[in-house]
C-alpha cells in the first residue's frame, strides 16, 4: 500500500518565511521518509485565496490534500500539523479529516500533535530556543498569536517552563489571547529591564511579526515599547527556522508512524 504524509500549517503569504520555516520542514520529512507521497496543506483559506489571487500560487487545504492522496492511490496517510497549540486550527483539521473518513472508511489516517502538547514538549521548546546569552537589564518578549480557545493557557505554561529553567526575564504576550503586551510592560519595568528583544513565538515570521511586532509604523509592539522608554530590538525569525524546534515536529510525526 502506498503511504503519504501531509504537512499542515496555518500558512503564510510571505514567500521567504514560507521557504525558511515550512519548506525546510517538508524537505526534512521527504529526506526521512523516502518513497512516501509528501504534500503540503494550509488550514487558512484566507491565506490560500490570497496566494492564488495575488501570485497565482496554489496551496491545498487539508480536504484537497486528502483528495490528492486519494487520486494518487494513497490510502495510508499521516498528517503532521505545524501548529503551535491545540487550538481552533488544530480542531478544524480534525473535523476535516473526520469528514473525509465518512466517505472513505477504508482509509487509515493518523494525525500528529502540534508543537506544545505534553510536558516534555515545553521543556524541549525552552531548550530549543537557546536563550543562554541574555544580558543584564535585558528582557526577551515573545509574541504569541493567542486565541479565545481554552488552550490559550499553553502560553502561560510555556512561560512557567522558562522560569523553571531560570529565565526570569523572558515573557510571552499575545496578539489575540488573554495576556497582552500591556500586561507585560509593568513587569519589565519592575525588573529594571532597559532593552527588550522581540521575537515571534510563531511558526513563521509573517504578517504579525513583520507588521504588529517589528514595524516602525503604526502601533506595533516595537513602537509601543519605545514610547515606554525601552531600547527595542526585533528579531524576525520564525520557530520553523530552528532545527531543534523542527525536531519536535518530526518526533511527533515519528510517534504516529509507530
Q: Is 92 annotated as a binding residue?
A: yes
Residue 63 is assigned to a ligand binding site: no
Q: Is 106 helix (H, G, I), strand (E, B) or coil?
A: coil
Residue 232: helix, strand or coil by DSSP?
A: strand
Say whether 66 counts as a known binding-site residue.
no
- The pairs formed by 211-219 with CB atoms below 8 angstroms and a separation of 24 or more are 212/143, 212/175, 213/143
117 assigned binding-site residue:
no
Is residue 89 a known part of a binding site?
Answer: yes
Q: Does 10 carry a binding-site annotation?
A: yes
Binding residue per annotation — 90?
yes
98 annotated ligand binder: no
Coil, strand or helix at 73: coil
Q: Is 86 annotated as a binding residue?
A: yes
Is 91 within any annotated ligand binding site? yes
Q: Is 208 annotated as a binding residue?
A: yes
- The alpha carbon dihedral of 201, 202, 208, 211 has a sign of positive
* Residues 47 and 13 sit within 8 Å (Cβ to Cβ): yes
Check the annotation: does 85 bind a ligand.
yes
Contact call for residues 170 and 155 (beta carbons, < 8 A): no
Q: Comparing C-alpha atoms, which of 160, 227, 165, 219 is closest to residue 196?
A: 227
For residues 11 and 44, the answer to whether their CB atoms sit within 8 Å is: yes
Backbone angles phi, psi at 247, to 5 degrees: -60, -35
- Under the phi-then-psi rule, with left for phi > 0, alpha for psi from -120 to 50, and beta for the rest, what region is 180? beta
- Residue 149 annotated among the catalytic residues of the structure: no
Q: Are 216 and 222 in contact (CB under 8 A)?
A: yes
Q: Which of 58, 145, 149, 252 is catalytic?
A: 145
Within 10 angstroms of residue 52's Cβ, the number of other Cβ atoms is: 12
| Residue 252 known to bind ligand | no
Q: Extract the annotated binding site for Co(2+).
A: 10, 145, 176, 208
Q: Extract the annotated binding site for substrate.
A: 85-92, 203-204
Could you give the residue numbers annotated as active site? 145
Q: Extract the annotated binding site.
A: 10, 85-92, 145, 176, 203-204, 208
Amino acid at each position: 500500500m502506498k503511504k503519504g504524509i501531509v504537512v499542515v500549517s496555518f500558512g503564510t503569504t510571505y514567500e521567504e518565511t514560507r521557504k525558511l520555516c515550512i519548506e525546510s520542514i517538508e524537505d526534512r520529512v521527504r529526506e526521512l521518509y523516502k518513497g512516501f507521497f509528501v504534500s503540503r496543506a494550509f488550514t487558512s483559506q484566507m491565506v490560500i485565496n490570497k496566494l492564488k489571487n495575488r501570485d497565482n500560487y496554489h496551496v491545498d487545504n487539508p480536504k484537497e490534500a486528502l483528495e490528492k492522496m486519494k487520486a494518487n492511490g494513497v490510502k495510508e496517510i499521516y498528517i503532521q500539523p505545524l501548529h503551535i497549540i491545540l487550538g481552533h486550527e488544530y480542531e478544524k483539521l480534525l473535523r476535516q479529516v473526520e469528514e473525509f473518513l465518512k466517505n472513505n472508511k477504508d482509509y487509515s489516517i493518523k494525525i500528529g500533535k502540534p508543537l506544545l502538547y505534553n510536558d516534555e514538549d515545553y521543556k524541549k521548546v525552552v531548550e530549543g530556543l537557546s536563550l543562554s546569552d541574555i544580558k543584564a537589564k535585558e528582557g526577551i518578549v515573545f509574541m504569541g498569536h493567542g486565541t479565545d480557545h481554552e488552550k490559550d493557557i499553553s502560553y502561560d505554561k510555556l512561560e512557567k517552563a522558562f522560569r523553571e529553567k531560570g529565565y526570569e526575564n523572558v515573557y510571552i504576550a499575545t496578539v489575540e489571547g488573554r495576556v497582552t503586551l500591556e500586561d507585560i510592560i509593568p513587569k519589565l519595568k519592575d525588573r529594571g529591564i532597559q532593552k527588550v528583544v522581540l521575537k515571534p513565538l510563531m511558526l513563521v515570521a509573517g504578517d504579525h511579526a513583520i507588521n504588529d511586532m517589528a514595524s516602525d509604523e503604526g502601533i506595533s509592539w516595537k513602537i509601543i515599547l519605545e514610547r515606554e522608554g525601552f531600547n527595542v530590538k526585533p528579531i524576525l525569525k520564525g520557530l520553523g527556522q530552528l532545527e531543534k524546534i523542527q525536531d519536535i515536529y518530526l518526533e511527533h510525526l515519528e510517534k504516529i508512524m509507530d
